[in-house]
Structure 1
Amino acid sequence: MVRINSKPLFALLLSLFSGSALAQLNLFACEPEYAALFKELAPEANVYSATTAKQDPHQVQARPSLISKLRRADLALCAGADLEVGWLPMLQMKANNAKMRPGGDGMLFASDFIDNLDQRDSVSRFDGDVHADGNPHMHFDPYRLLQVAKGVSQALAQTDPDNSASYQANLQRFEQKWQSAISTWEQKAAPLKGTKVIAYHSSFRYLYHWLGMQQVGDLEPKPGLPPSSSHLAKLVNIAKEQQPMAILVTGYQDPRGGEWLSSRTQVPLLILPMSVSEKDGINDLFDLYDTVIDSLLAVE
């Protein structure tokens, strides 16, 4: 009679079952930076991003494909602070997924895990496209992003308790690597402290706050409004007075105003990636930070 050691077989079956359970989770991210965070914390899950780095997350159509993805989602992660207010409520309604409804236990917002910069007691139409709950583009603050990661990891464990140990291990692995990267980034970016920029919108507000940079002018006359001729003329004077190192726009913003200002002031125009984009060789959050900081240093 041949005796079979059942322990290795049991371990293999347990591993396969665990991987299958993780793989069955459907995770929906409103923006690619949060899809990338999901992949760090739940690498075996099915992760879908509603937008790309070349799309303005303020303006998205509630397409049937998005409705279908949200309908099947176990967890969703969005920036919050009203960034997606123009399209997410419609998506939630049409998806008809109880977990994804406002207040549902599967609907997560990064802004709920942190203190947002630039919160306001009230806003009016006169202010333009501003958010009372603060600036929603917090993914360029590595410390705040780590807070979000901890909250998301806890939500994953609650959604899939059989694999809570795996999510905790993934968080610990990500946190260790992330903390090491922060130290490297801060040393590398030290020359950027005190530098000034003109930018389109407040897209990199958290980056400036983290690295000690200053936005001295905005290509938008008011948030959400395209640059006008009179406003650009004022920015020419601001550029002469403040001597910014660069004019910054993102991949989904119209560069023409920045190009005009650059041609009049000789301040270089720099198009920075707003999020993870595998098509552009930015495969994860680490690549995103590396690319942005290296791009700024190349100008500085």
Structure 2
Amino acid sequence: MRPFGRPLLCALAILALVATATAPPGAPAQSRLRVLATLPDLWAISRAIVGDLGEVQVATRPGQNPHDLEIRPSQIVLVKRAEILVRNGLDEDSWIDPVIESSGNPRLLRGAPGVVEAVRGLSILKVRTGLIDRSLGDVHPSGNPHFTLDPGTLPVVTANIVAGLGRLRPDLAERLEANRRAFLDEVAVAGRRWSDALAPYRGASLVSYHDSWPYFYRAFGLEELGVIEDRPGVPPSPQHLVTLIRQMREQRTKVVLVESWYPTDTAAAVARAAGARVLVLPQSPGAVKGTDTYIAHLDFLVSALAKALGD
């Protein structure tokens, strides 16, 4: 048989390098983790776990309303490159499904080994029962998806992430778990600071524009009096607003929370009529400069709310 020529040997060498670079998780030559989170809160949490073991990117911009997204080519590129997807697991990020289909990356399809659903094992608030139709607005039938705003959910959420990452990269399982424990220790320390800051206001009633905060309320002993947008995505009726204003006056509600991506006109009118004030808060890490970690984000939320309640 004729020996291989130099061009063919070079071509084979290049193919071998490409095969190694694109080897699936678990192959002998291991690369850094390539993780994609659907939402900024999961991005911040995943970064704390992955640390220097890989790269964590996010499919949405911090401060962007996840209920009103336009699919961009850059999102398809991110999905195509990722080997692991960390998703909320409820309806908050269902927009990612058509992006995954367009990307042609089967590793991130629902039910695939490369998909982590952060919600697994959590007790979910406000699960809808009965008939659900468009008259109710853009409701979340599976329950309220904003569970990471309660630090008490993080042991379960982070365990889900570590389990998912370790499933594909068992060689990193111990280091990922060590990062997880270090992160939870930091959150526990910060949690005492947050609880102390809001302790004087335990039992205080609050109103929000969108139903984003029930887990946050639960975490810090606050009471939800009502939601201005009682049907998500549908303008509130005058009757609903009149009733809510009356309740706010009776309960002496001082603060109306508005997520930073919503207009404040209606909330400001309600607050004025009830003798309260509007507090605009970012719902996700990174929306305000210096808050791209989970702890920094909660620091900002707690500090701003404590100040508003104390004024």
Which of these residues, 220, 223, 246, is aligned with residue 237 of structure 1? Answer: 246
Aligned Cα root-mean-square deviation (Å): 1.9
2:206 partner SS: strand
Q: Percent of aligned positions with the same letter in both sequences?
A: 27
Cα distance in structure 2, aligned partners of 1:61 and 1:25: 27
Shift of 1:230: 4.6
- SS of equivalent residue, structure 1 residue 280: coil
2:34 to 7, 26, 29: 26
Residue 70 (1) aligns with residue 49 (2): no
User: Normalising by the residue count of structure 2, what TM-score does the alignment of the two structures yield?
Assistant: 0.84
Gaps spanning 5+ residues in structure 1: where? 1-20
User: Quick one: distance in 2 between partners of 1:54 and 1:70?
Assistant: 20
What is the letter of the counterpart of residue 189 of structure 1? Answer: L
Contact 2:284 2:297 in 1 (8 A): yes
How many angstroms apart in 2 are the aligned matches of 1:41 and 1:123?
40
Q: Deviations over 1:173-212 (max 9, x none)?
A: 1122122222332222212210011111210110111212
Q: Which residue type is aligned with residue 259 of structure 2? A: T
**Matched residues in 1 for 2:287 and 2:65: separation?**
17
- Partner residue of 2:124? 116
Residue of 137, 141, 151 corresponding to 1:142: 151
The answer on whether the counterparts of 1:199 and 1:219 sit within 8 Å (CA) in structure 2 is: yes
Asked if 2 retains the 8 angstrom alpha-carbon contact of 1:123 and 1:130, the reply is no
Paired positions, count: 279
Distance in 1 (CA, whole Å) between partners of 2:274 and 2:59 is: 38
* Secondary structure class of the residue paired with 1:27: strand
Report the AA paired with residue 89 of structure 1.
Answer: D
Aligned counterparts of 2:287 and 2:229: Cα–Cα separation in 1: 29
- Tell me whether 1:166 sits opposite 2:166 in the alignment: no
- Alpha-carbon distance in structure 1 between the residues aligned to 2:99 and 2:118: 18
Which residue does the alignment assign to 2:290? 281
* 1:262 positional shift: 2.3
After TM superposition, give the deviation of residue 24 of structure 1 in Å.
2.5
Residue in structure 1 matched with residue 138 of structure 2 by the alignment = 129
Q: Which runs of 5+ in 2 are unaligned?
A: 1-28
Q: Deviations over 1:243-294 (max 9, x none)?
A: 1120101111121111222233330100112111165221211111111111
Per the alignment, residue 220 of structure 1 pairs with 229
Cα deviation code 1:22-52 (max 9, x no counterpart):
8722111111111111110112222111123
- For the pair shown, the structure with the greater C-alpha radius of gyration is 2
Structure 2 vs 1, CA of residues 84 and 278 (structure 1 numbering), >3 Å: closer, same or farther?
Answer: closer
1:266 counterpart residue number: 275
Give me the TM-score of the superposition, normalised by structure 1: 0.86
Deviations 1:219-257 (A, max 9, x none): 114122133445433333222222112010111112111
Corresponding letter in the other structure for 2:126: D
Is 1:40 equivalent to 2:66 in the alignment?
no
Counterpart CA distance in 2 for 1:102 and 1:283 is: 27
Distance in 2, Cα, partners of 1:224 & 1:106: 32
Give the distance between the partners of 2:297 and 2:232, measured in 1 at CA. 25
- Cα separation, partners in 2 of 1:120 and 1:236, compared to 1, 3 Å: closer
Q: Any conservation in 2 of the 1:22–1:163 contact (CA below 8 Å)?
A: no
